[in-house]
Structure 1
């Protein structure tokens, strides 16, 4: 039997006659027009047909659950009431219908008892519009928790994929399948509850409505074919490799060089290819090998699964092994790291702080003791520590450290960029050399300075963990750092507008995204030029440790054979963090200028800026080295890129892939966010995509890079990002401004918090509460 959707009550009434995969509670349906005339008759009918209660009085408006809009939650429902409360409850539900509709009804049902699980199931992913069965549920008796956005876990499976034997969700998947059959494959979402009856669990259908999707869905076969290709790629990549240590592999969006944070989960092809070209194809490996780690040259760090960027974790973990460490010990260490991440996948954005040991810290001997439980001998622990100490000493030296060589290259980059932009070369030639220089004198030294910056923060944290510094000392030191963002904030007030844009105008939110306007393209979008007081008033007061702290640090440096003293060490820490930001600022100008020239060149060929976002950077390399018809090359690449991106928009994958089957089904992880500062704030929530008022608000941005520095000029109260690591650029910026922030909330928490109206953000307690 095939059905059409009607009202909430009407649809449930029709389904009650035919549904086999779930129960539907008894019901009384009241036409709104009948209630004023027949109250006593209706109340008697409820008592006769639904017993003594408790009841739930539910909306069933003609304006909800339609083919065009669900209006979910727009109207009142009143749960858990007794018979005497029915009349006022019905009246209140009717009063919530703002516009009278001839189809308006009220639905009364008995409250379910012994509810152990409830939630919402979707036949299609509401975000990608793809045929994924998505189940958002919560354990416990509150059947409204998920629908009211208070809590919930999310599990999904590709339609048509084999259902795992141990899943709780087989009955719900059967229900979704039956509903799709009944409603002729129209996308649906349904509310459900699972009740305990004796030793059994019984599934109840509470509601079903059309799922309104912005895009037309595709057949499950198309999605399965796509996912099967990704799965086979992962199966191959998880096999042992004769040239890599580690028996198995893992893939993730954040373990190294943080693609989810910098270019996003679904970047357009130009941004994706640029990130590979400038960093993750080869530059990353050259830098680590230059600093004394194993040689991983020729291994790309980032792979693309139908346009979604993932880090090859085994390659990454190999690259953190000192080159002089014994091969057998190194092999076991990589396995240990991978096993640790598999067991604790929420640490995927904290790899260098919680998984691997990439440098020698003042508490390293103690931290290495955990290896004893995995069979590492004391001699092997010592060998690991000695190798890391040698690397650290080569970098740590304030006057002769490896980072000094990299810092000197930044000046070369600036000089060459100036010469290039003043030359008479054509746009293609300038694009080519801006990017070549960006690699050689920009991202390569930036990678080295970022390595020094990671080392600096890890050593600083170890001083806190040992107890020499307090968390407040740490916060004060980070606030004393003078980085590009703090300098820019002050310059915005002091400089003439034209001078400010000349110096900072190349920055853009989304450093690699060509469609994102530069500061100098749309300054009014980013800055309130009338506002001269904001976060930029935060001072960079010098930090000074006391004598006792200096003595303790000196003692530890000597006993751990680290070639530094407290004064030189803190000069190094400060310089490494500051120069990392400076290098990012400079290489991003090469990239931004190259993007501007791409726009100019494409425009001369009649190709709009938005289309260039879909081409691959290799096209501009070909245009430099070949005499060919440029329009044809560009248009073919754009066409291919649009097709690739359209498929990327259909794919939904877990942030950490530990098994090939994770491609087909997984539970979305609840992240372990990074809380910045020890501060607390209560404020309204603002989403920049929605154009909300930023001043005094907790601002939510999905993927954040330094191009979002303009936010700090708007007197924001707090910051939440979906993606980002503990030592990411935005984490450092929030720390130096003393701004309470959550960096790397993950998709589930970010969706929940960014949908709220008012939040309480308590960084010291590591707690977020939705107030409204």
Structure 2
């Protein structure tokens, strides 16, 4: 099809309306020159053409919709105007054409479809990976412009549907029409604005996305890859003798939360390291040691096409007390699996809202929902005994775990002093990290969670108030607070800087990402020369005597071997130690990376290429001393895994897998942020509302409330990235950032926006779809 403007495209498609089975609202168009020459005549033509109907005035500029750039949303539209309102029509057009650069730019007058049942935008390919997915953003608000406006839209929904598998109820028949449309236009990269009213599909606009060549080879590879993933999902859903549950589902946000820790598309090294250090066996050993069911050798995390998921059947089995009778275990686990399958939105709240993983003061009510009275009492007794074993002062669990963590630092030092190969060092760093690092950390983290859950139920019962709850957490001295305090003085002398880096220099924003520079490597960027950080004032946590008595009474009534004073001591200690132990075991990971980088220099492998090496492959080479053979083995590993990673990058992974068909069709919830580009940046954050000199935006990540076209000028200041509170995948700023290659999070939501606004340094990993507050 030859090149048309937006208005001309609609006119061309009108002759295929009946054939495709769509409706295109009546329209007329004219150029800026024509309007300036004879506006009265054109206004009369509009009135005559549309009579008493409502119209929408849209732009159709020559530079607006081409294969080189889309400029989507550059010009404002004016909607819901009566065709007889000449004054309004003229004033609206005059406002619009002020921004037109070419006299041949067009104005499109279109019949306005009011109160549609559904309205939205469809991309006919995934705009980042260019994979063959229909990306549908829509809502049922009755408005046709909310999706593209970038304003807050709590009703917006986003679907990804693989083109070769359109079995998706409502959308199947409409997407078949779009598929036919693509063939007519001979372009499979389209941005289509549409609405549905009384089951009729109205095509409102159709523009080409920025041109990218379609790789049919990639499409074929994706098709094969998705089939293999579907087979693997079916395999891990089948009943297995070592686990209870005839059903299964998978989440990337549950339990050890791989999406947060390593991302949805982690590097081979990050994925394998996280598996080796935690999710293969360490996690299960810790639970068994704390009185939970032993589910070894089942791994917790499954790799589907390069994306990590928690196996929720394995997870739920691991959370029942080992002493619980099999019959009750079966009832409980099947109940939990059914609950999460019906409520996937709870996937990141498993231990609070799905599974009873520890005793609290509301456990009876929750367990009684699926067990009879006798069974409930048995379950509660098991949970209570388990809790008493953990929190009892006699067992000194925290002290024992802390001693292991302290021993790890000694082992790291000894290994560094040994005259052995880099691969041998990596082997020992991994083994010691598991035994003295991640294993005790997992135990301390379990204690911290138990403390948090008990404290939360004490709050819910009204024994303490929100202020007490907040004061307790603000009184805790975590590593994060210490870093903030100490960073305020590190510029005063080189000795203070060196002392700071000796403590914290190994920390990196993405712990398992070897490409992420640690504090020592990137000190000047992470900590500016003018450090304005002020020392934190820790709040004192004091409860009045009546609250202490009520908490003591609560523990006594529930027959728990603890009182108010010892509980808060345990809670404070466990939460502080959780952060400390994580910092210590991360030294092992830093040393693993240092040894890998030393090895890479010897065998001439780039640092970035180390991401494609599995840590398991390195461990296999422990006894191999032939440096040439090691080089050849690792270079082959890199080539193989680069190809595998390319396939993974083509797939739009769902966050929750309920069935094997979910790999073909998924819905993103409104509160899931929209990441633009596949870049990973870390930089200083600046709130637009606080900017006094716009030159200060250079190389900054800008925090902006609305993804509105009026803010386009910010891109002239060479910003590093963008985060908006509101907006969608198809909004103006999403397309603009995509075109300019600027990493962005569009529509991060109010809660996250407020949290980020309190900080001044953030990481955006658009490829892995996560952000982290650095400081």
Normalised by the length of structure 1, the TM-score is 0.86
CA–CA distance in 2 between the matches of 1:144 and 1:42?
A: 26
Asked if structure 2 preserves the Cα contact closer than 8 Å seen for 1:122 and 1:133, the reply is yes
Q: Which residue of 2 aligns with 1:126?
A: 127
Structure 1 residue 691, shift from structure 2 partner? 6.5
**Compared with structure 1, are the counterparts of its residues 263 and 105 closer, same or farther at alpha carbon in structure 2 (3 Å cutoff)?**
same
What secondary structure sits across from 1:36 in the alignment? helix
Contact 1:557/1:564 (<8 A) preserved: yes
The superposition leaves residues 26-45 of structure 1 with CA deviations (integer Å, 9 ceiling, x where unpaired) of: 21111112111111221222
Q: Does the alignment pair 1:592 with 2:595? A: no
How many residues get paired? 699
* Aligned pairs (5 A) from 1:149-188: 149-150=150-151, 151=153, 152-164=156-168, 167-188=169-190
Aligned to 2:641: 641
Q: 1:145-198 CA distances to partner (integer Å, 9 max, x unpaired)?
A: 11113332012221111523xx222342023201221132432121101123xx
Which residue pairs with 1:610 in the alignment?
608
Q: Is the 8 A contact 1:287 1:444 kept in 2?
A: yes
Higher deviation after alignment, 238-247 or 514-523: 238-247
Task: Pick from 438, 442, 466 the counterpart of residue 433 of structure 2.
Answer: 438
Report matched runs for 1:372-391 at 5 Å: 374=370, 376-391=371-386
Contact 1:254/1:349 (8 A) holds in 2: yes
C-alpha displacement of 1:756: 5.8
CA contact (8 A) 1:669 1:748 kept: no
C-alpha contact (below 8 Å) 1:653/1:663 kept by paired residues: yes
Asked if 2 retains the 8 angstrom alpha-carbon contact of 1:246 and 1:332, the reply is: no
**CA apart distance, 1:208:** 1.0
Secondary structure of 1:390's aligned partner: helix
Deviation at 1:120, TM superposition (A): 0.7
Aligned match of 2:416: 421
What's the counterpart of residue 705 of structure 1? none
* Gap change, CA 1:716 and 1:408, over 3 Å in 2: farther
Q: CA deviation at 1:400?
A: 2.3
- 1:458 and 1:9 map into 2 onto residues whose CA distance is 59
Are 1:404 and 2:427 matched, yes or no? Answer: no
Structure possessing the higher relative contact order (Cα contacts under 8 Å, 6 or more residues apart): 2
Q: Alpha-carbon deviation of 1:94?
A: 0.8
**Aligned residue number for residue 711 of structure 2:** none
Q: Please list every run of 5 or more consecutive structure 1 residues that lacks an aligned counterpart in the other structure.
A: 674-686, 700-713, 720-740, 765-772
Whether the 8 Å contact between 2:688 and 2:702 is mirrored in structure 1 is yes
Larger CA deviation: 622-631 vs 277-286: 622-631
Deviation at 1:399, TM superposition (A): 5.0
Give secondary structure in 2 for the equivalent of 1:694: strand
Distance 1:624 1:757, change over 3 A: closer
In structure 2, stretches of 5+ residues that fail to align are 491-495, 691-699, 706-722, 736-743, 756-775
CA distance in 2, matches of 1:575, 1:81: 65
For residues 394-543 of structure 1, what are the structure 2 equivalents within 5 Å?
A: 394-398=389-393, 400-495=395-490, 496-534=496-534, 537-543=535-541
Sort the Cα spacing of 1:586 and 1:716 in 2 relative to 1 into closer, same or farther, 3 A.
farther
Could you report, residue by residue, the CA deviation over 1:734-767 in whole angstroms, capped at 9, with x for unpaired residues?
xxxxxxx999x99999999942699687989xxx
Distance 1:343 1:176, change over 3 A: same
CA distance in 2, matches of 1:26, 1:763: 45
SS at match of 1:582: helix
Q: What is the CA distance between 1:665 and its match in structure 2?
A: 1.4
Give distance in 1, aligned partners of 2:724 and 2:441: 25
Q: Which residue of 1 aligns with 2:599?
A: 601
Aligned in 2, Cα 1:573/1:691: closer, same or farther, shift over 3 Å? closer
Cα separation, partners in 2 of 1:642 and 1:157, compared to 1, 3 Å: same
Are the structure 2 counterparts of residues 104 and 698 from structure 1 closer, same or farther at C-alpha, using a change threshold of 3 Å?
closer
After superposition, the CA RMSD in angstroms is: 3.0
CA contact (8 A) 1:116 1:195 kept: yes
**Normalised TM-score (structure 2):** 0.85
> Quick one: distance in 1 between partners of 2:702 and 2:130?
34
Aligned to 1:625, the other structure's residue is in SS state coil
Distance in 1, matches of 2:630 and 2:751, equals: 54
* 1:375-397 CA distance string (max 9 Å, x none): x1111111111111111111102
Q: Where does residue 755 of structure 1 map in the other structure? A: 746
Shift of 1:660: 1.7
Q: Please state how far the C-alpha of 1:672 moved relative to its aligned partner.
A: 8.9
Which residue, out of 609, 622, 625, partners 1:624? 622
In structure 1, the partner of 2:73 is 73
Deviations 1:332-373, CA, capped at 9 Å, x for gaps: 10011111111211110111111111111133223333x2xx
Q: Structure 1 residues 429-438 or 216-225, which shifts more?
A: 216-225
* Partners of 1:286 and 1:746 in 2: CA distance: 42
1:576 CA drift (Å): 0.7
How far the C-alpha of 1:497 sits from its partner, in A, is 1.2
CA contact (8 A) 1:22 1:204 kept: yes
CA distance in 1, matches of 2:505, 2:210: 41
Deviation at 1:600, TM superposition (A): 2.0
Q: Which moved more, 1:14-23 or 1:66-75?
A: 14-23
